[in-house]
Structure 1
């Protein structure tokens, strides 16, 4: 049944909504799980497919770039074409590209499949979040539902670390992609049973394709410039030319959004310092988190000689503490506000990165790595909740889906940039004589990301809960 709502008409609560929440959280779980197990399996993938370090990082970045670049367009398509329909399409595509990734016979095929995988996730994630928002009324039920949505991310990361290593060690790297298949099949069966169709009948069916293309292309060029700079030279014609093209495309994107009747990113939303600050802080936190994860995965499976399973077990304390921190962060934000909590979290992330850098410099002691990951995970859990709460504070009901898409996009953009920059540092400082020399500088780079985030948090986030000014909250989207 189509339960698309006209203005002023509310659909009755769906009696199946809690079962539907489990299904929707499963989608978030699988997206996080997939990212984590691929990070863990990347050293094995690189070896067996004979990928150079600069090419290997595109197994991760290709997915993150398309995911982050197309999130807003995916959320907009769900509003116009139907949320259940687009969630089904995204899940079906997720199934197909998981099969294609597992059967990939060389690095080029795998990277292409991962890019398409990012498209599937860009359809699944914002659509699932918008379904949750529309299915649960404002108040306690919605808060519980969103807590479940956020908490499952820590569970997915932990499970990814544990089963990712076991799958890679026992069955080979293709198994980390094939594990998605049975779950996706079950989801496809349950989607028509548990989810109502819904869409915004007041919205016109127009798509900002030009905005999506220019923003995604700009991001691709930025990351490509970072990845190729060590080999080509930071001041080479290729590096500077690619960076200049990215800047031009970013300018074109802003011009398109200013003129579009249905922009992918309405520029009026950027007048809120809390929304902008929350998303920028999220970018720096996720840059740090992904950069650290890639570094530690390669360090433990390289110089320390861990198997993929041993590496996953060693790192599992980090997502577990992130799960604990995410639930503790909610009460801290209510009591103290966005800025103090975000600032403390960024300090913990920076301290965790430096502790890990010191552990690497001293030979990689298990105790040193554990302490660093413990501190890092606590900060990550607290920080992501604070950044998300700030980015969504006071947003009008009509813009909640868009704001959620922006927040999810900031996480994916941060992941792509973090992996690209840290991979560049690893390549730049490693030599044939000292192949492990790049790990400590890479972790120090992660700490630098948190300093940038701390400056943004102090400048843009309020000490107490802030809302978007009334003129922003009431401006219609079209």
Structure 2
């Protein structure tokens, strides 16, 4: 059993510059996943991509990123967080450069996979470095608030950035711009990022990581197949994901040094992982549906649709900072239900606004503001609460688990919202394709809003009233009782 005490927080030359470095790195990594969406037509035209190849270019990064996060987090704990952060940056930069110079589909997809692998190493390493440096409750809340805000903005504004770069310099610049940014971050890391000692006595747990990776990959691929109409294949892949996930849980329960100690999930703080999933799913579902509506029904360009989300992203940034400064006074049990209620209200208002002649200021903008308000508040509160129950020596794998939860929630939401929208077309008038499509989108949004509202009720019951101090030494020992906030 691992009973090693948590190390003292490392000394950092400039905490503000350090925070800016790790958060800006997360921004670049998340933009890397969504930036190709707007540029895909230009890429497809130049490289003569088939529809299947275009889908591969779109999903290769996020699929790799989502699948390898847990293993990347454990590697950060075992191999050293600064070391893996630097390696991840280098791999992401090389992958981006290879994307920029690709001349056909195969090399481009392979390069996207390489970039996703680098991101899966750098992202959990960066987050675990952040929570290792900022150890007091107030400092950690503010740092994680910045982290959550920057991540949400990066995921939201990827389309805008992709559209601007493609319009100005061509699609290859959406990848080329990552190279100098990563080089600067790599150089800055040597002076700003502390060398956190490796956790002694831990193994990489590669078999465990491969099981977790296979489970996440099968789930995401299965949902993608269901979304595209291959229901039987998709259901089979989801079944494989369930089996692999069950084997992973069994292995963790029996291992003396598990990749993801199950005892970490026996506390009230761990229930925040569920609400990370709900928040990511409902907000991305609304984002995905409204993006389709603006482009397919209102006839906006992808860049125009991306710019429409700027107020949403800006409000997330503002709310995240306010919440991070007041979370320890208000508490997640009060804040998260209010935030998810705002998400539910925004989704419902958005559903009611979907019509052929809707205007942005009176129809979409109010819904986007409610969604941004709820997403920003819930994202910070759930992130801080979830990480508070994880000892510092486990922060790499904890960060990987948290980010993987967000990625799976997003993939799950897109697939389910698309399926619900397809089923919901039955509520529209026969013979009117536009009206049927809008009816399906309304149905999907209302279901997502219902999930957010149910999440609000559940959060008011299971989340702790206050965020506890960071978990102490031995809190993650597999056979010991939980040392964080009790369930009673």
TM-score where L is the length of structure 2 = 0.83
CA drift of 1:477 comes to 9.7
Q: Of 330, 333, 336, which aligns to 2:330?
A: 336
Against the structure 1 CA distance between its residues 139 and 230, is the aligned structure 2 distance closer, same or farther, given a 3 Å change threshold?
Answer: closer
Q: Is the 8 A contact 1:61 1:420 kept in 2?
A: no
Q: Is the 8 A contact 1:227 1:424 kept in 2?
A: no
CA drift of 1:317 comes to 0.6
CA drift of 1:465 comes to 3.9
Partner SS for 2:63: helix
Q: Is the 8 A contact 1:126 1:408 kept in 2?
A: yes
Give the Cα–Cα distance (whole angstroms) in 2 for the partners of residues 327 and 301 of structure 1. 32
Match of 2:484 in 1: none
CA drift of 1:156 comes to 3.5
Partner SS for 1:207: coil
Give the Cα–Cα distance (whole angstroms) in 2 for the partners of residues 150 and 267 of structure 1. 25
Against the structure 1 CA distance between its residues 336 and 180, is the aligned structure 2 distance closer, same or farther, given a 3 Å change threshold?
Answer: same
Alignment root-mean-square deviation, CA? 3.4
CA drift of 1:231 comes to 5.3
Match of 1:377 in 2: 372
CA drift of 1:50 comes to 5.4
Alignment of 1:140-151 (within 5 A): 141-151=139-149
Give the Cα–Cα distance (whole angstroms) in 2 for the partners of residues 230 and 139 of structure 1. 42
Match of 1:267 in 2: 262
Q: Render the CA deviation track for 1:17-76: whole Å, top value 9, x for unaligned.
A: 443332222211212333343445457667776564x87666554433332332222122
2:214 paired with 1:212:
no
Partner SS for 2:224: helix
Give the Cα–Cα distance (whole angstroms) in 1 for the partners of residues 90 and 229 of structure 2. 39
Partner SS for 1:311: helix
Q: Is the 8 A contact 2:6 2:472 kept in 1?
A: no
| Between 320-329 and 373-382, the greater mean CA deviation after superposition | 320-329
TM-score where L is the length of structure 1 = 0.85
Match of 2:463 in 1: 461
Q: Is the 8 A contact 1:61 1:419 kept in 2?
A: no
Match of 1:255 in 2: 250
CA drift of 1:281 comes to 0.7
2:184 paired with 1:186:
yes
Name structure 2 gaps, 5 residues minimum.
Answer: 481-488
Alignment of 1:420-439 (within 5 A): 420-425=415-420, 434=433, 436-437=437-438, 438-439=440-441
Give the Cα–Cα distance (whole angstroms) in 1 for the partners of residues 413 and 8 of structure 2. 42
Q: Of 219, 222, 225, which aligns to 2:222?
A: 225
Name structure 1 gaps, 5 residues minimum.
Answer: 1-5
Match of 2:162 in 1: 164
Match of 1:450 in 2: 452
